[in-house]
Amino acid sequence: MPRKPSVMALPGEEKVMKGSRIALIAASSLLVVAAVLLGNPNVFAQTDERVHVVVKGDTLWDISSVYLYDPFMWPRVWNANRNIENPHLIHPGQEIIIPAELIELAVAPPPEPVPQKPVLPPPPSEPVVVEKPAPSPVVEKPVVEKPVEIIMPVEKKQELIRAMATYGFIVKRKEVGIGTITSSEENRLLISPTNIVFVTTPKKQPLTNGEKYSIVKVFDEIRHPLTNKKIGYIAKVLGDLSVLNVKGELATAEVGSVYRAVEIGDQVMEHVEYLSWIPKAESMTVEALEGVVLANPEGKTLLGRDDVFFLNLGLNQGIKPGDSLRIVAEKGTIKSPVTNKKFSPPEEVLGVAEIVVPREDTSVVRITASYKEIPIGSKVVSFSK
């Protein structure tokens, strides 16, 4: 059988052939990579850590809201930045690291629904008469009531947390005297979520095993600005804890959520459930009520829009979350130069306010509109008065 003649590459052709083979192999590799990416586009997806440079007014709460969509993640951000000794003292120019693993856990809020165009019904047609079959006997099924799920907007939830942790509310001394955090399992000065703490309670008033309590810090005493009568104390909720074990006057507890720095010496009170502060659609005080602007949590004496104040009216007086009230000023009596009689002119409206947190006899109130400066001691009345 005759052999096929061999083909010998001419000088210079060998390099061309070798280059063609390399190009063919490279193209094949690119096709494989493209196939993998098309099958799984997240193969090389990677979330990098972010670095935030602090500007004036920043807090770990705000930074966590922006990068992680959840302000309650601030203790974990603080934990990743151990160079920060006090989480409530960050300074402009500081670099805050947002770890990649926290960014991966972040869940962005759902986008706002796009309004759909109404679909017009088809034109009416000739009525068709259809004979209906005889109805079958109705078997009544037992009605099972489903628990109502409370859905709270993120903005409202943050406002209520601020009311608890930043503004505070007025408490009686006996409300916060049920226990004091005296030490922690790891002897930490600043306490974080999941830490084990020990709570000392008064005699014959132990905490209840398995119950949840609020951790609070007690601040200034509040007195009535006109009568000087003692009203109570400002208390701010720092977080919560759950009791694991009770032995005499000592309770062992695990720290849950933390809104502000928790320290040894902070006190506990009955759990403050902010879900009860969600305003109802029908909220509007109908009774004729009259109260006084007691104080501002920041110590301001003249207030305006978006400022917060404490009011000496609460649940016992018919106040509900979301109620609107008027802030007014009396003008005194005026003597008529014609009749020589005295009369009282209408009260001047200084602003409008909304109930944020109602308690038994006091409330936290936010000014929603102001027409003039509102001094401490101003009269607050319901719209029906």
Q: Beta-carbon neighbour count of residue 261 at 10 Å?
A: 19
* The two three-digit tokens of residue 74, written as one number: 């601030």
CB within 8 Å of 111: residues ≥ 6 apart: none
What mean pLDDT is reported for the chain? Answer: 78
Residue 301, phi then psi, degrees to nearest 5: -105, -20
User: Is pLDDT above 50 for 59?
Assistant: yes
Q: Coil, helix or strand for 38?
A: helix
In the chain, list all ranges with CATH 2.40.10.410: 290-382
Please give the residue that has the higher pLDDT: either 270 or 337: 270
Whether the CB-CB separation of 381 and 330 falls below 8 Å is answered with no
Over residues 146-164, the mean pLDDT reads 63
What whole-number percentage of the chain has pLDDT above 70? 69
Burial environment of residue 166 by CB neighbours within 10 A (0 to 12, 13 to 18, 19 or more): middle
CA distances from residue 124 to 128, 129, 215 in whole angstroms, order as listed:
11, 15, 65
Q: What pLDDT, on the 0 to 100 scale, is given for residue 130?
A: 55
Over residues 320-339, the mean pLDDT reads 82
Query: What gap in Å lies between CA 369 and CA 357, rounded to an integer?
Result: 18
- Of 178, 314, 327, nearest to 249 by C-alpha is 178
Per-residue pLDDT band at 104 (split at 50, 70, 90): confident
Q: What are the tens digits of pLDDT across the range 224-238?
A: 999 999 999 999 999
User: Is pLDDT above 80 for 361?
Assistant: yes
* The two three-digit tokens of residue 14, written as one number: 């060998």
93: left (phi over 0), alpha (psi -120 to 50) or beta: left
CA distances from residue 226 to 222, 282, 371, 377 in whole angstroms, order as listed:
12, 33, 23, 7
Q: Label the pairing between strands 212-223 and 95-98.
A: unpaired
User: Is pLDDT above 50 for 274?
Assistant: yes
Q: Beta-carbon neighbour count of residue 367 at 10 Å?
A: 21
DSSP 196-255: EEEEE--TT-PPPTT-EEEEEEEEEEEE-TTT--EEEEEEEEEEEEEEEEEETTEEEEEE
Q: Coil, helix or strand for 288?
A: coil
Global pTM reads 0.60
In the chain, list all ranges with CATH 3.10.350.10: 51-105
Q: What are the tens digits of pLDDT across the range 26-39?
A: 444 444 444 444 44
Could you tell me the CATH superfamily of domain 51-105?
LysM domain (3.10.350.10)
Over residues 264-268, the mean pLDDT reads 93
User: Is pLDDT above 90 for 146?
Assistant: no
Q: What pLDDT, on the 0 to 100 scale, is given for residue 30?
A: 46
Integer-rounded Cα radius of gyration of the chain: 34
Q: What pLDDT, on the 0 to 100 scale, is given for residue 109?
A: 62
Query: What gap in Å lies between CA 336 and CA 171, rounded to an integer?
Result: 47
**Which CATH code is given to the segment(s) 290-382?**
2.40.10.410
Query: What gap in Å lies between CA 67 and CA 100, rounded to an integer?
Result: 11
Per-residue pLDDT band at 108 (split at 50, 70, 90): low
Kindly state the DSSP code that residue 166 receives in the 8-state scheme. Answer: I
